[in-house]
Structures are given as C-alpha cells and as structure tokens.
Homo-oligomer: A and B are copies of this chain.
Amino acid sequence: MTAHRLDQIAPFRVMLLMERAKRLEADGLRVVHFEVGEPDFETAAPIVAAGQRALGAGHTKYTQAMGIPALRERISAFYAETAGVTVAPDRVVVTAGASGALLLLAALLLDPDDEILLPDPGYPCNEAFVGVVNGVAHRVPVLAANGFQLTAADLLDAWGERTRGLLLGSPANPTGVVTPRSTLAELTALVQERRGVFLLDEIYQGLTYGEGEGAPGYRTGLEVAPDIFVLNSFSKYFGMTGWRLGWMVVPQECLDGVSRLAQNLFISPSSIAQHAALAAFDQDAMAIHEARRLRFAQRRDRLASGLRNLGLHIPVDPQGAFYLYVDVSKTGMDSETFCWRLIDEYQVAVTPGNDFGDHLAERYVRFAYTTGDEDIDLGIERIGRALTDWGMA
C-alpha cells in the first residue's frame, strides 16, 4: 500500500544497534557510545536562557516563513565577521533543521528522474530527500587513496545527461574530511560550467581541528564560490540538535521559489528556537562553543591514537566534524558483524559503514567522539580486549 520510494529507504542499521545498547543498559551494563552523531554537550546556557526568555515574552506564534529578520541579519553578520564574506540577509533562509533545508532544495531543484551526485560514503538521509521528490541519487565513491575527497575526474566521470548537480559535505560525515580550497574551487567551477547546482553541506562548519580553525583555507565555501547553495545547522557547532533549526544560503534568483515552498511546506520554523538562536552568536555562547571545539579536537586525537595503537587503520586523518572512519577489515569481519559482536560481547557501540553507502562499506565503521574522555579510554580498552580475544591483536 505504500509508495515505491519506500523500497529505496533503508532503516538505519545504527537504530537497531542503539536499541540493543538500550536493552543492555536496562540490564545494568555500561555501554560505551561511539555511535551517536550528536554532541554530548547540552545546549549552552546562554542559549537556553534566551529560549526561556523568548517563551516568557510570548514568542509562541508563527514567524515569517523564511525566518525572523533579526536572525537572518545575525547570520549574515556572522558570515561577514568570521569569513569576511558578504551574504545579503535576504539570501539567508532559516529552516527547520538542515533537514528542512534539504527538503526545500530537493523540492526546488529536482524534477522526477533528475540526478544528483552524492559522495559515497556520505550522510545517509540525503538519498531520502532526493527520493521523496523522485529524483535519482547517484553515489560516487570517494577513495581513501584520494583522502576521501571527490576529485574532478570523479565528477566528470559521473556527470550524465540527467545530472542536475552535486551535494557535497565539508566537513564530511562519516569521514570527517574537509574539502581543500583548491578542490572546492575546481569542483564548483566544473559544476557551474555544466549549468549544474552545487550544494555544499556545511552543517559541521566550525568543527575543524587543523592549524587553527582556518586549516582548509576558508571558513565557508561562499568565500570560494559565492553563488552556490550552502546548508547549515544550529545542531552541531552551536549544540542545538533538539531545537530543530538550521539555515541555508541560496542564490538570489531562487528566493521566490524557496519562499513559496517554505510557506507551503513548513509555514515557519520554530519561533522559540529562532529567538534562542539569536543568542548563539553572542560572545558568552561563542566562548562555550569554542571551548567545546577544543575538547572535540582533543578527543579526536585521543580516540584516533588509541585505535591506531590497537592496530586499527584510519586511512585519512579527519580534520573536522566529530567522526573517525575506521577500516576494520584486518579483523577479518565485515563491518556489520564487527559492530554487532562489539556491542553484544563488549558493549561498545559503533556504526557500520553500510549506513553511509555501498562503496567498501563492509570494511569501515564510523566512530563518533561525542562522548567523554573516560568513556573513550574505556572503549579503547574494551576494543583492545576484543581484538585480543578474537586473536587479532
């Protein structure tokens, strides 16, 4: 009785693992969580207080469909302050999470059978948004040998008659890699030559850990190519997952279409979340976000070196987000078997690669360092024990 697109939408494997983890915890066992794509930190106190004030002030009504002007202006100012780029507030569209932005862009850009290129591995939900509007998600493998980067050659090989564009994440989920400025410039130019659309998912923007924050050589892809579509979120760097708020920057000529879609499909983003998010850019909140970024950086190093000491292979040093993409093929197990044995026998939860695509997915698992140092150490110890017990250490 359901639509055919449902056949294309797999359940997340990690959901089953998380259920298992919950049952183990209900049995009194301690589970180490490396599976969760959500910061373990609560929303910073100044944002929470702003949310409470917004409620007290009666901000409980629908807002403008594209977001309250003050927030669109604040985001515009944020681009100016942090990246020195001019983004007119008009072009900033506040959305119900980055999920809301993905739906709006899919509806805006894709006719049935239109193709969009997606790196494999990548954020699993992207395909669902393409599928909802009956577009075709064309997965393009990104190779460890290329630093998990999509290359110009990959793009040209994959580009076909029905290709409408490319949706690229940087920093990327699940690999944690950041697209270098030169690559971004090359890819955006190639897409634009083909009159395609370039969608850059920057929802992990700000969570980079290279030489200072500027390691990739840019703060936002809008510095490199001002006319691309950029998606962003208050969930990750700003720690506002449960509030469901994001934004996107769209080219001027799309605003009318985006506005009509936003009115019809969402009415408005959450008024409370929007008013609270105004405080996310204040100095006190930014200091908290920045301190958390530094903790993520330390955790990345702690977890990566721990796993490498166990002999596990992390082929590409991740520079951002909060993920490690780890090759577990030396265990002789496919990644899904590895994940299930690890949760069942050692109570460590990680996500199998096949949640993120097909390409060599059976070799890889994703570790999220969204948990504290103590649990990171415990997890490493348990995995070490597992490898020994399994005769692989």
Contact = CB atoms under 8 A, between A and B. Distances in A.
Q: Which of A110, A128, A132, A268 has the most CB of B within 10 A?
A: A132
Contacts of A337: none
A305 interface: no
A321 to B, nearest CB: 16
Given A11-B259, A96-B96, A270-B242, A110 B3 contact: yes
A109 B197 contact: no
Interface residues of A, number: 68
A38 B63 CA distance: 11
A3 B128 contact: no
A312 B47 CA distance: 50
Given A11-B260, A51-B272, A1 B197 contact: yes
B254 A242 contact: no
B61 A242 contact: yes
Contacts of A329: none
Contact of A109 (B2, B96, B253): B2
A265 to B, nearest CB: 6
B38 A58 contact: no
A267 B264 CA distance: 20
Interface string A242-282: 11100000000110110111011111111111000000000
Contacts of A263: 11-12, 15, 125
3 closest residue pairs by CB, A with B: A242-B271, A128-B264, A43-B60
